[in-house]
Structure 1
Amino acid sequence: MRDLDGGRIFRVATPGSKYSVPKFDLSTAEGAAKALTNPNGEVRYLAWTALHEMGAKAVPALEKLWKGENPRHRARALWALGKMEGKGQGVVNAALADADPDIRITGIRLARQLDLDLIDTVSKIVMDKSAAVRREASIALRFDGSAKANALWADLALQHDGKDRWYLEALGIGSDLHADARFAAWLAKAGKKWNSDGGRDVVWRVRSKQAPAFLARIIKDKSLKDHASPRYMRSFDFHNGEEKNKALESLLDL
């Protein structure tokens, strides 16, 4: 019953094994870099703090780790290097050009945390072959309502294949605060191709004032296999205003 108040930590090990706490030399860059590869979060925190305090002296050890083969270790080195004074942009550029999509994603997140130019960042990977990287790019644009951000988001939306629900939600997150401008930019680029599997998903997800009219067009189009899908009607629940009312009224004669 005492577990309810204090709790316990159980360590499962083979018979005869001895519990030992490894020691790390955090006084040197090499030792701290090695500790940064440890799976224990507390050890990594102490290592990162030590490396950050060393500043430029820690760069060679971190660059060696960054050039290694373990993707997790590389990402940790990348993050530590990016936080070094004057190195942020260069580290982000290197990450965005990396062959590993997870490293490119880390580069986008680092750019956001360092408050770098996200338009420049996203421009470099807007046509990335990895959907996961493009998802991260859409999320990164969330708070930018500029015309350039709208155009980049539209390019990302055009690459939705209608199958990746995670990609669709990332587009939604990237558009929610600027739905009307995002939707208009996408329509301008999509043209007649808006009525594709991916395009109908965008209409379903984006909360633009223009979307209800397009939802009605989808529902009316009996040539589409999914025109009667209940999800298109449910999408109206997330809209308000006269545009929604007019679109619903247009469906009364079905």
Structure 2
Amino acid sequence: AAAIKGAQLAEKRLEWERAPDFMKETIGAPDDVRASRSSSAQERRAVCLAYKQKGNDFFAVSKHGTAMREFVRALAVYRWFDQSTEKSSERMPLIRGESLISEERDATEARGVVHTLLLNIAACCVKLGDGASALYACDEALALDPQSAKGLYRRSQAHLLEGTVSGQERALKDLGIACKLKPDDMQLRTALRNLRTEYESTTKHERQRLKKGFESGLYSESEKKEFAARQPSASEDASASGKDVDPN
């Protein structure tokens, strides 16, 4: 029993530690937000949507930091770190209030609002250049709706903030899935096409740079062999860029 309790505490502590700052800020939610958690579903939703609308208004005028603050307050109506008993992170569980609602219709509405708010927060994080927080928000949103094309698109933007080839590859994967979910969405198709072009250019330049390094003697024989072993095959290359290996 002690071992199980210890594992549970460790999991709660890990959840706190891996959470980005915006999620930790739910501890200090405004009084009306905290009060709404014990109100009726309608009153709770009204408080949430009021803050959400403020966030939309600020985002529309490019005040992304302020917009994010309002979206987080809206999110805190349904999801928050609970500090009601102790200040220790071991005793501050993340409450996913949308999953505790008994009435199915109200629960479905709450999950939808939480999903939207997480993606709105992710959009703010992308605008602010905070890829790690954007990725967290997208992962949480996709946990609620794995088939969310918008969630996959937003997560692809978070991956691109890494500024790495591997980040581009993860973004390509997410965009490819999003396009399959919504094949008629021109924004998604354009984003995928542009990213393919960017990825091909990036990998071409990287290979040229490494080739020059080999020729100039910057790398040892073992490093050359390691690089050669890492090079993708034609099928892997095509898969990463979203192309068919054999269109026939």
Fold agreement, TM-score > 0.5: no
> Looking at CA atoms only, which structure, 1 or 2, has the larger radius of gyration?
1
The structure with higher relative contact order (CA 8 Å, sep 6+) is 2
TM-score normalised by length of structure 2: 0.36
Higher share of residues assigned helix: 2
TM-score normalised by length of structure 1: 0.36
